[in-house]
Amino acid sequence: MRDATPQTIHLSDYTPFGFDVTSVDLTFDLAPRATRVRSKITFAPRAGAADTRFFLHGENLKLIGASIDGTPVTPQVTPEGLTCDVPDRPFVWEAEVEIDPQGNTALEGLYMSNGMYCTQCEAEGFRKITYYPDRPDVMSVFTVRINGPHPVLLSNGNPVTRTQGSAEWHDPWPKPAYLFALVAGELVNHPGRFTTKSGRDVELNLWVRPGDEGKCAFGMQALKDSMTWDEQVYGREYDLDVFNIVAVDDFNMGAMENKGLNIFNSSAVLASPETSTDTNFERIEAIIAHEYFHNWTGNRITCRDWFQLCLKEGLTVYRDSQFTSDMRSAPVKRIGDVIDLRARQFPEDQGPLAHPVRPESFQEINNFYTATVYEKGAEVIGMLRTLVGPEAYSKALDLYFERHDGQACTIEDWLRVFEDTTGRDLAQFKRWYSQAGTPHVKVTEHWDDAGTYTLTFAQSTPPSAASPDPQPLVIPIAVGLLSPNGDEVRATQVLEVTQARQTFTFEGLASRPVPSLLRGFSAPIVLERDVPPGQTAFLLAHDTDPVTRWEAGRTLARDSLLAMIRDGVRPDADYLDGLRRLVADDTLDPAYRALMLGLPSQSDLAARLSEAGTTPDPDAIYAASEAMRDAQAEHLSDLLAGLYADHQVDGPYAPDAHQAGKRSLAGAALSLLTRTDGGTQAMAQFAAADNMTQQLSALANLIRAGKGKTALDAFETQWHADRLVMDKWFGLQVIEAKPEDAVATAARLTEHPDFNWKNPNRFRSVLGALTQHHAGFHAADGSGYSLLADWLIKLDPVNPQTTARMCSAFQTWRRYDADRQDGIRAELDRILATPELSRDTTEMLSRIRG
């Protein structure tokens, strides 16, 4: 039960806790419906503390008893926690509580998944386990005893003792409670070893459900690669004798970096060639790296409060993207990140959920694990590195680790290490952390025949509720200049735009250059420029920066699609010609060519139309995208069979970038071929496939061609026992449905006996997929909106976090026509009117509704 008016927490209200926690001892007596947790915690009042109140968070706990220094006490208990009179000297607090892991469907705190106990404590789940100052700036050393009949009993740190029915763990590194973890169950282990550079021998374990043993090898290798990379690139070594990873089927997010005991959504760690696609492998490698890298950026140095979440998440995303660039192809990774940023972060930053990378207030912190905090947070670090240079970046990071190890820090601490190592004033740069919204930068140019070329940048950030009066930012814009014959006459240089309007001059040029702007996507902005006719096609043919070259193709495709939608014209021949030359160019990486064949998403197109003052019609956008695909198929028709055949992989499947690139180009060719061959090739690939990448791409094509029935049945028969593969089976049918069938397909799948809606992965595979189907979700009759709303209402009391996250599907509602807006508003109001709606969902919908 919660308060009628949810409380808003403000960054400006931060006050430290009035006590140090010198040690924490926990004992768990596991039982599904009545687990007992005994805590013994040493508190010491802090000299000069402003807030001397002894308040311990606690939710859904049954207090059995409490004592101070052995004398029973009777605290004042509320639904949020307890207060108690305490002595003005160090004392030992002991409490016993009872909790109900089996009844915990929210998957926060201690819960059960397939008979196994596991925890998720970030951000504020520890208070559902016992009474505690559940805030990240309270760090302590934990000792944990687990009593239970399970063969595997795990917690953080190093194992101390292990006997029949009991285990004890000790974590020597002080940590906040959000990094606490416990796992108990019947699990099997895929073991490994790693020796750190200073010679520490580390036992690695990947714990999975019996039956999943065959899906561990890749994750284990990714862990070792991550450990090596962090030593080599950041000089960071692992600091315990054991590192455990556990795979769990029921999990709200991707994974969690608990100290020495990472817990993963099984979809983010289990992989095999037969059951996982190349995309899955790459994502798993990145998430394993991400959680491992948190050991230093998150655990050893943590956040002072949850407003500073980007301190660990932005940095750790940045680090995992560097890792992937090093392990695979840097340009392909960067382009993937740009696509992802535009798909997830830009809409957030441009809509009612816009918030700064470091938000200033929240009601439910779980609603701020967003693309803005994570991905824009990483972009901000990338810009910082671009501005100070790689050497200064390394020095600043060394200082960060040296100065702040063992501390709970702020963005101010983070920026100060850069100021101290470079002498640079980062006051203006800091606005990236405090100001919401995607900056627009308008570029104009001037050429005079004396050889002087100027570029003028005008920046503006649209005001939002979160940032009503945006100020100019420091924007690093990487620029190269090309001569009309395609030579690079000025190598990449970084222009620092700091003013609202600013001009840069290039002298001594023999002829008017063509600018290649925002190379490497050097800043998360929208670049606007009236490009002279033919120049984008020129850049597509000649740009020496792979990211801006890709961007040129993307721009041509987008502009052509927008013209098709608005004016009913045919696809742009220049785009198709340029594309053809690129795709046929065997000197280019196949993965890169596959990316070139991609189109801007339909939701991106809707955003563009709406920004330009045209109300987007999802059906028209769908039709234009289909017409463009047909045009690609036709224009490349003589190349496709060759592309397909030439990029088949000989020999056994490997999930590396080289093979994956070939498969992605072959897959792109197949999807165009299927438009003309009636599905013959897809059928053959489906029959012959020995890996999930090819099986799934064949299946997708068959569904799209309207010939999926037999293959879908065969796939279900083959894979019905594999949860992760069946998630794909559910999702694909929705994603690949015709717009007019998408809602009905999703609705039908929710009736399937295997639609276990309490499992977040399965729920997302159907309802999440529907929200990804632009024309389907926005069906004119509002059926997509009401189906989603029905399910959100049903899921909210069971799992508020997953419900609230999916509400963001509605965030773009003001783009659409009056009928669609009415339809969405009615659903938002219907959900909001639900009695006992969670704080999570209430906050999201209120912000979206405006």
Alpha-carbon distance values, 755 to 265, 429, 528, 710, 764 (Å)? 18, 48, 45, 20, 11
Q: Which of 30, 56, 123, 766 binds ligand ARG (CB under 6 A)?
A: 123
The SS3 call for residue 612 is coil
Q: Which of 122, 257, 285, 291 is catalytic?
A: 291
124 is a contact residue toward ligand ARG (CB under 6 A): no
Instruction: Report, in Å, the least distance between residue 374 CB and ligand ARG.
Output: 7
Q: Which does 123 bind (CB under 5 to 8 A by kind): Zn ion, ligand ARG, none?
A: ligand ARG
Which tokens belong to 303? 């956040």
**According to DSSP H, which parts of 423-545 are helical?**
431-434, 535-542
Q: Does 523 bind ligand ARG (CB under 6 A)?
A: no
Q: Of 214, 243, 241, give the one whose Cα is nearest residue 226.
A: 243
Verify binding: residue 121, ligand ARG, rule CB under 6 A: no
Q: What number of other Cβ atoms are within 10 A of residue 581's Cβ?
A: 11
Determine the interface stretch with ligand ARG among 118-126, 492-500, 550-558, 833-841 (rule: CB under 6 A). 118-126
Check: CB of residue 773 under 8 Å from CB of residue 602: no
Phi then psi dihedrals of residue 232, to 5 deg: -75, -40
- Phi first, then psi, for residue 179 (nearest 5°) are -95, 5
Among 21, 116, 253, 606, binds ligand ARG (CB under 6 A): 253
Which residues inside 340-399 make contact with ligand ARG, applying CB under 6 A? 366, 369
* Residue with smaller CB distance to Zn ion, 131 or 292: 292
Which residue number, 253 or 489, has a Cβ lying nearer to ligand ARG? 253
Q: DSSP assignment of 365-409, as one string? A: GGGG-SHIIIIIHHHHHHHHHHHH-HHHHHHHHHHHHHHHTT-EE
Q: Does 268 bind ligand ARG (CB under 6 A)?
A: no
CA gap 657, 44 in Å, rounded? 53
Interface with ligand ARG, residue 285, by CB under 6 A: no
Give the nearest distance from C-beta 289 to ligand ARG in angstroms. Answer: 11
| Both tokens assigned to 664 | 């992605």
How far is 346 from 844, CA to CA, in rounded Å?
Answer: 17
267 makes contact with ligand ARG (CB under 6 A): no
Q: Return the number of the residue (288 or 489) whose C-beta is nearest ligand ARG.
A: 288
122 or 827, CB closer to ligand ARG? 122
- CA distances 561 to 268, 467, 536, 623, Å, are 35, 32, 15, 10
Residues 263-322 binding Zn ion (CB under 5 A) are: 313, 316
Interface map 305-324 toward ligand ARG (x if CB under 6 A): --------x-----------
User: Residue 501: how many CB atoms within 10 A of its CB?
Assistant: 13
Q: For this structure, is 736 an active site residue? A: no
Say whether residue 146 binds ligand ARG (CB under 6 A): no
CB-neighbour burial class of residue 40 (10 A; exposed 0-12, middle 13-18, buried 19+):
middle
Which element (helix H / strand E) includes 607?
Answer: helix 602-611
Contact track, ligand ARG, 770-809, x by CB under 6 A: -------------------------------x--------
- Does residue 840 bind ligand ARG (CB under 6 A)? no
Which of 40, 228, 224, 235 has its CA nearest to residue 141? 40
Is residue 474 near ligand ARG by the rule CB under 6 A? no
Query: Which of 316/841 has CB closer to Zn ion?
Result: 316
Partner from ligand ARG, Zn ion, none binding residue 315, C-beta < 5-8 Å depending on class: none
Instruction: Give me the least distance between CB of 366 and ligand ARG, in Å please.
Output: 4
Nearest to Zn ion of 313, 543 (CB atom): 313
Q: Are residues 29 and 148 in contact, defined by beta-carbon separation less than 8 angstroms?
A: yes
Long-range contacts of 641-646 (CB under 8 A, 24+ apart): 641/669, 641/673, 643/583, 643/669, 644/669, 644/670, 644/673, 644/681
Q: How many residues bind ligand ARG (CB under 6 A)?
A: 14
Considering only 257, 379, 551, 843, the residue that binds ligand ARG (CB under 6 A) is 257
702 binds, among ligand ARG, Zn ion, none (CB under 5 to 8 A by kind): none
Tell me whether residue 120 or residue 244 sits nearer to ligand ARG (CB atom): 120
* Rounded Cα–Cα distance for residues 744 and 742 (Å): 6
Q: List the catalytic residues.
A: 291
Q: Where do contacts with Zn ion occur on this chain (CB under 5 A)?
A: 313, 316
Q: Where do contacts with ligand ARG occur on this chain (CB under 6 A)?
A: 120, 122-123, 252-253, 255-257, 290-291, 313, 366, 369, 801
